[in-house]
Each structure stands twice: as structure tokens, then as C-alpha cells.
Structure 1
């Protein structure tokens, strides 16, 4: 495919692209899939070089690193205890949160200031411990997903955990298509619509297939659709 053909295909896929932008992309000499990703990431302009950068080459460069929500999950050397009882930890965390809720109710209804303070401090300590326990549990599930090559099973995740993890996973694996297991609609009333929204925000086409959601980057879906149409 020559540069003119690449330019025209990009303009078909992205009608908002200006003629100059499409030409700049085509002149980069990169694969069409790479160029599509550039447009999706709003990375259209070629890198700029300034004279002072060309002359001075020994100055220290600031390395910009991604801030993971769950950095332990993505380390080369796993430091997570993979043998813990995830369900048991979740149950303990739920119990602690319930106890914290009851203590908070006591604090609100008590007439003595010292007692209110005592109950509030105790409730906060239980909530903090529950949060730590929940994190230990979810790290195990996340690490298993990272090490596996199959569908991403989100059973056992809260909505907040699933969204944060998917943000991390997208940056780590840079996937263009993925299969999520969320369970049937009546069993996943919160997490399924949350993942459908996540796909939309991150520019994925999303289709339902039983207990699974299938996501594919919109640009690649359009490329496949265009290819089938041409045949």
C-alpha cells in the first residue's frame, strides 16, 4: 500500500482528519495499524527537534513513568502471596466493614463527645484494615489474569477495582481486543454496564456474548469491516 492509498484510507476511517494531517501520517512510513493508533491517541504531529537539543546530547533526561493503580501486579518478580484464601479474606473484610458501620452509628447517636470520638476512631481503624485485606485479596486475582493469556475473568471484583485494573492492563498489554467474563446480566448488574462504559470511554467497540463482553478498538473494527466490504 503506497502513501496515497494510506492517506485515503485514513481519511475514510477518520473524516475529521485534515488533508495536511493525513498527509503527515502517511509520510511517516509506518504500518496502517500504527497510524490508526496514533490518531486514536491524538498523536498525529511528528516529533519536533530543536537546535539546542541536537547540540547538547549529554544532559539528563526526565523519564516519565506510568503510575499504576496496582503496581505489585505488573512487576517482573511477583511479591504477592498467591496462596492466600481470597474468599476468606473478602468475607473478613465484609465483616470488618459491617462492624465499622455499626460503630459509626453508635458514634452518631451518642451524647458524650469522648465516646463519639472513641467509636469513630475504632470504626476508621476497622475500615482501614478491611481496605488492606481487600487489596491483598484482589491482587491475587489480578496477578492470575496478567499471567494468563485467556479471557479476563472479573468475578470477585468490585466495580471500582475492575475499572482501575482495566486501566492498568490496557497500559501494560496495549491490547486492541479483549474478552471479559462478567457473568450473565442478572448476575452482574453493576460490573457489566460499568465495563461497557469503560469500553466506550477507551474507544472500543463492545458486543455481548452470553456471560462475556467482547471489546475491539474501534479503528481496527472499522478496518476489518472495510476489508470485508471490499471483498
Structure 2
């Protein structure tokens, strides 16, 4: 049976589904990023223990060049460069966070932007970090973000994904802005679908009782990029 499309299909959307492809991105660039930074600014100035830093120390990772996507004011990148050396870069939708970061950490290179368009060269970094931001990305931009992170990460480099780690994808309404959604899943799956990436370590953040709460499973995945050995010679000949 042949399929035939007559005209354009009609779609019916709820109020939360009227978002255009770029609208969630535009909301964060247009003010919600600054609002997030305002709610968290004091905490960021005294961040306390950091699971990303702890993981890097456990693995004895000393990057020469590091990029954090969703870097806020760059506090984590600054600590990485202070502890391990190297040069630090960051991209963040909050212009206020970037302005504060440039003032507080003048050695860093911070830019206003989002994960789907990274203003950096191919293979520029040996460490790329998603800093608890993928859950706020519109799913229609997920693959663009994956492609951009892969593009700027050099061969043999490490990718750190700090975010929710949930066994099945789902969404919650974003508490701070109507019409925005928080999307949760195991984001490493995007990269591990390629044999060019391999999971090296997963560290889960535990609650006070030592277990992860439902809908609050947060952790760090560390992946290594290696396309050179991703496809070995044909084993069947």
C-alpha cells in the first residue's frame, strides 16, 4: 500500500506544547538564565564539595584545555585550572553570570551562548564538561549539542556529563517559568550509541541517607573519545 499525504497535517497543542524549536533556548538567553544565576549566585560563591572536581581528582585527570558548557560564572572551570593547570573556557546563557565571571576570573575565556552552537575550533579541548545543563535543553536541540561537543573535543579527550541520570526519558514542568520543561534521561546514551565513545566511570551523588531519590538521581559520567579504534578490521575474514 502506498502512502499519500494530502496537504499539511493539522496539529493540536496544549499551552505547554506551543513552544517553537528555539523558544526554550531564547527564554534562557533572554532572561531566565540571568534569573537562574540570581537564585544561585550566593551558593556559587561558596559551592562546597563538587562531584565533578572529586571525580577528576579520583581519576587523576589534568587537562591542558577545558571547556564547561553551562559554566555559570566559571567557578568550576577556575577551580579545575587552579588544581590541575591548563587553560579554561566556558559558555553560559546568562550574560550576568558571564560578566561576573570575567571580573572574578580574568584568566578564563567566558562567552554567552548555548550548547548547540559552540564558538570554538574543532578538537580544541581535551576535556569538555556538560555542567548540569542538558536537562534544560529542548530535546529538538539535543543532537546538535551532541554534535557540537563531539566537534570541539579532541581525539583521546574526555567528556564529563554532570546531570540527572534516569533510566527512562521523561519531563517535569520547570518550576520557575511556565511553558519550560526539565527533560531527564541518561544523557550519555547519545554518545555511547557511537563506538567512538566509551564510558570510563560513573559517580552518583547520594542523598543524606546514602541512596538516590526517585526523580533526583544525579551523577557524573566520564567518557573517552577514540575514533581511531572504534572500528577494528573485519573479524570475519
TM over 0.5: no
More helix, by proportion: 1
Q: Which has the larger strand fraction?
A: 2
- Rg: which structure is higher? 1
TM-score normalized by structure 2?
A: 0.29
Normalising by the residue count of structure 1, what TM-score does the alignment of the two structures yield? Answer: 0.29
